[in-house]
Homo-oligomer: A and B are copies of this chain.
Amino acid sequence: MLERNVETFIGCDASYDDARIVLFGAPFDSTTSFRPGTRFAPHAIRSESFGLETYSPWLDRDLEDISVFDSGDIELCIGSADKALDQISERTSVILADGKVPFMIGGEHLVTLGSFRKVFRKYPDVHIIHFDAHTDLRDDYLDVKLSHACVLRRCHDLVGDGRIHQFGIRSGERAEWQWARAGHTDLHPFNFDGLAQVVEGLGSAPVYFTIDLDVMDPSVFPGTGTPEYGGVTFMQLIEAIYTVCGKCNIVGLDVNELCPPYDQSGASTAAACKIIRELLLSVNYK
């Protein structure tokens, strides 16, 4: 009798019951306005993770020491943002109900909304830590409310002022910057200045952590739909991740906007894999 050889993110082959973190892919990019393809990211990340070691020499920790279940990709309803977000919410619900931490791999940034809606329902006092090149604060984009360009604005609809902490931002319409600076979000432009203080201030509050990988400079991470020069380096991002995960009470997280069709060398996918490894090894680590 043969068993099927099943592909998961490397080292994430715990059973669902044993797992404290549950990975899932959200292969959706229907609202991407410029260059589509993030739908291929979860699959690419899972495949390319086999070029990665399970051991992190920075942290001196190994994926073999922790328990993660990779539940594979949701088969999302391409072409309808409404339905796709509902499907994501449903998956997140189950994970939260079972007392586990949902870790979503996008897809475009809009997928965050599907996951965050359920996190917010469970933790109404949740804060968002948001790493990104873009503000994502438009109220609508070409008349559409459910767009990657509006996703943090939709989250703001839920949490209100002062609960969204943005870092690395360097692109947006003038109106978005003005809206943020009017106090609606806690926007830190260009880099991670102020992150340690924010983390300190959050104490034990629940935190949803969303990383748009384009927060990295395109010299580091070209494989994304809308590359924005002037960003952070890989090691700056890793250090910032340690800052957040080392102190915060993370109740949900996601990594998004890898766009494999624009990653001919595979290096951006490799970066995403290593970032996910470091997140897994530092979030809620015992």
Contact = CB atoms under 8 A, between A and B. Distances in A.
A78 B31 contact: yes
B36 A79 contact: no
A82 to B, nearest CB: 10
A169 to B, nearest CB: 8
Nearest to A268: B265
Interface in A263-286: 263-268, 270-271, 274
Contacts of A75: 5, 142
Contact of A172 (B57, B142, B220): B57
Interface stretch (A45-53, A123-131, A155-163, A247-255): A45-53
B2 A83 contact: no
B263 A265 contact: yes
Interface residues of A, number: 90
A203 B93 CA distance: 59
A170 B98 CA distance: 36
Contacts of A223: 265
Interface in A1-55: 1-8, 16-17, 22, 29-37, 39, 43, 47, 50-51, 53-55
A27 to B, nearest CB: 11
Given A144-B77, A238-B230, A265-B223, A36 B34 contact: no
Given A4-B6, A57-B189, A62-B174, 9 more contacts: A2-B91, A5-B75, A7-B7, A30-B78, A55-B174, A218-B270, A219-B267, A229-B235, A262-B266
7 contacts: A32-B79, A77-B143, A218-B265, A230-B235, A261-B261, A262-B265, A263-B265
